[in-house]
């Protein structure tokens, strides 16, 4: 390949999904998501490339053009998928970085695969990036790429963004390969985190575990400086507002209300089925409110969407069984013989259906135990059509640092959670409106575009 991409995004997954038509022809469709929406225009303008895995193990694909930029697929063997992705990324780093809400597993062969795959991503990037190009590496699966890439191509401007929390030093230091990860990240010119606390966790770690000097936000290394700062990610706010006002979406939300039997109050949860999202606690809290009669199943429905996720990882299977059981028990014990108080779907839905659900939710319940940002909270605020909704939000979601007018909760405190949900349901309309107005203002002012612009502007302006 020619070294001609001026702007390169490196992420575990490509931003396209393969669609195979009836006649067997293959096409690639952009997978909807905020990151792609924000970065596609930049890539088209500058001539760019997106490097990532295409989602099928044991398959090598050639690079191809897509919507004005290059798609560069990275192959992964089945064993690498199991060890680098399911293993080290999702059963070691994911729980470790989320405050060990599940036990991280440490396996040396998983680490070896992680190193190997990170090296492959770095090598491919080095082949594709033009002289002096800007490279933006995404997330916890690729933390070694900044350093590896700098060794191969010191001419590049290298940015890295972590989408998940960065843990306090006391937790991070459990990792047997902690020094390698620190050095890996420090290879970047700019390391971005979701919230200031995560950035300061990393700076503190560097101060304690290396001999490097820090000058405020900058870590000074031989040959370059690594800047460490927070860039809270957001959503395509206008896009969500438009989608939620689309007549088809409005019609779908009406049909959904009809299907639910026009309850007076709809509570909604939407999450990947992940143990960090606080589902056990949320279902228990709302179940108790039904059992105690504080929420009347005749008037109130709690709709919970849990999108299937990482289903081959043990901890996720256990979670799925637990939630099935919990919901089953509550639904069999509470309410009449009509609609159950909890409408639970373990499935994923089109984005338009999600928007329809956000429209009808009087109270959105977002209660993760730990979460880098949480986009669902912001999507709800954008999509809910008037200011009568309410957002119950965990203090431990990055989003809580911006959405201060939400009903903020500690998801481990079941009584506190119950009280906040009840306040969100029963507070006078005027109080809820004041809160929702402030939330909408926040989400309108801070979008995925402003996030990408501020990161990339900072990266370009850096002088090493």
Q: Contact positions toward ligand GDG, by CB under 6 A? A: 163-164, 233, 270, 272, 305, 307, 348-351, 354, 371-376, 379
- Shortest distance in whole angstroms from residue 322 CB to ligand GDG: 19
Cβ closest to ligand GDG, residue 178 vs residue 272:
272
Crossing angle of helices 351-360 and 237-245, rounded to 10°:
80
Instruction: Tell me the C-alpha distance between 157 and 396, whole Å.
Output: 32
- Shortest distance in whole angstroms from residue 285 CB to ligand GDG: 19
Instruction: Tell me the C-alpha distance between 113 and 395, whole Å.
Output: 35
Cβ closest to ligand GDG, residue 166 vs residue 407:
166
- Shortest distance in whole angstroms from residue 337 CB to ligand GDG: 29
- Shortest distance in whole angstroms from residue 303 CB to ligand GDG: 13
SS3 of 328, please? helix
Cα separation values, 245 from 12, 362, 382, Å: 33, 17, 11
- Shortest distance in whole angstroms from residue 97 CB to ligand GDG: 10
Instruction: Tell me the C-alpha distance between 123 and 145, whole Å.
Output: 9
Cα separation values, 394 from 116, 191, 377, Å: 37, 25, 10
- Shortest distance in whole angstroms from residue 54 CB to ligand GDG: 19
Cα separation values, 310 from 349, 372, 375, 376, Å: 17, 18, 19, 19
Cβ closest to ligand GDG, residue 12 vs residue 405:
12
Cβ closest to ligand GDG, residue 106 vs residue 349:
349
- Shortest distance in whole angstroms from residue 211 CB to ligand GDG: 32
Cβ closest to ligand GDG, residue 207 vs residue 351:
351
Q: Classify residue 385 by burial, with Cβ atoms within 10 Å: 0-12, 13-18, 19+.
A: middle
Cβ closest to ligand GDG, residue 128 vs residue 233:
233
Q: What is the CA radius of gyration of the chain?
A: 23
Cβ closest to ligand GDG, residue 294 vs residue 351:
351
Which DSSP letter does residue 454 get? Answer: H
Two tokens, residue 249: 């979406």
Cβ closest to ligand GDG, residue 80 vs residue 271:
271
Please answer whether residues 144 and 180 qualify as being in contact, where contact means their C-beta atoms are separated by less than 8 angstroms: yes
- Shortest distance in whole angstroms from residue 34 CB to ligand GDG: 7
Q: Which helix (H) or strand (E) holds 214?
A: strand 213-215
């Amino acid at each position: 390949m020619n070294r001609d991409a001026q702007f390169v995004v490196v992420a575990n997954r490509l931003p396209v999904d393969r669609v195979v038509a009836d006649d067997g022809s293959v096409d690639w469709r952009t997978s909807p998501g905020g990151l792609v929406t924000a970065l596609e225009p930049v890539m088209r303008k500058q001539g760019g490339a997106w490097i990532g895995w295409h989602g099928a193990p044991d398959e090598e694909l050639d690079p191809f053009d897509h919507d004005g930029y290059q798609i560069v697929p990275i192959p992964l063997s089945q064993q690498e998928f199991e060890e680098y992705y399911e293993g080290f990324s999702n059963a070691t780093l994911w729980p470790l970085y989320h405050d060990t809400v599940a036990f991280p597993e440490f396996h040396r062969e998983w680490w070896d695969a992680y190193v190997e795959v990170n090296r492959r991503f770095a090598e491919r990037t080095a082949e594709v990036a033009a002289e002096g190009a800007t490279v933006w590496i995404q997330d916890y699966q690729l933390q070694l790429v900044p350093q590896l890439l700098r060794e191969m191509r010191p001419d590049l401007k290298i940015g890295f963004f972590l989408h998940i929390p960065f843990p306090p030093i006391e937790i991070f230091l459990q990792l047997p390969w902690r020094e390698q990860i620190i050095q890996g990240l420090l290879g970047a010119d700019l390391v971005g985190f979701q919230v200031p606390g995560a950035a300061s966790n990393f700076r503190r770690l560097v101060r304690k575990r290396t001999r490097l000097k820090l000058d405020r936000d900058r870590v000074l290394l031989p040959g370059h400086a690594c800047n460490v700062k927070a860039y809270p990610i957001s959503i395509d706010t206008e896009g969500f507002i438009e989608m939620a006002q689309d007549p088809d979406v409005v019609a779908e939300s009406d049909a959904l209300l009809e299907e639910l039997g026009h309850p007076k109050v709809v509570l909604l949860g939407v999450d990947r089925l992940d143990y960090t999202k606080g589902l056990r606690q949320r279902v228990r809290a709302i179940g108790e409110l039904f059992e105690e009669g504080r929420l009347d199943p005749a008037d109130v429905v709690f709709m919970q969407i849990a999108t299937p996720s990482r289903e081959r990882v043990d901890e996720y299977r256990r979670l799925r069984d637990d939630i099935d059981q919990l919901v089953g028990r509550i639904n069999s014990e509470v309410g009449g013989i009509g609609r159950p108080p909890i409408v639970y779907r373990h499935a994923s839905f089109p984005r338009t259906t999600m928007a329809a659900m956000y429209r009808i939710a009087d109270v959105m319940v977002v209660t993760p135990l730990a979460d880098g940002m949480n986009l669902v909270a912001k999507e709800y605020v954008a999509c809910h059509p008037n200011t009568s909704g309410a957002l119950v939000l965990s203090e431990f979601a990055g989003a809580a640092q911006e959405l201060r007018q939400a009903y903020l909760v500690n998801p481990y405190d079941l009584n506190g959670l119950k009280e906040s949900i009840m306040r969100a349901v029963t507070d006078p309309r005027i109080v809820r409106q004041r809160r929702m107005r402030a939330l909408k203002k926040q989400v309108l002012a801070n979008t995925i575009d402003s996030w990408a612009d501020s990161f990339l502007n900072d990266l370009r302006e850096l002088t090493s």
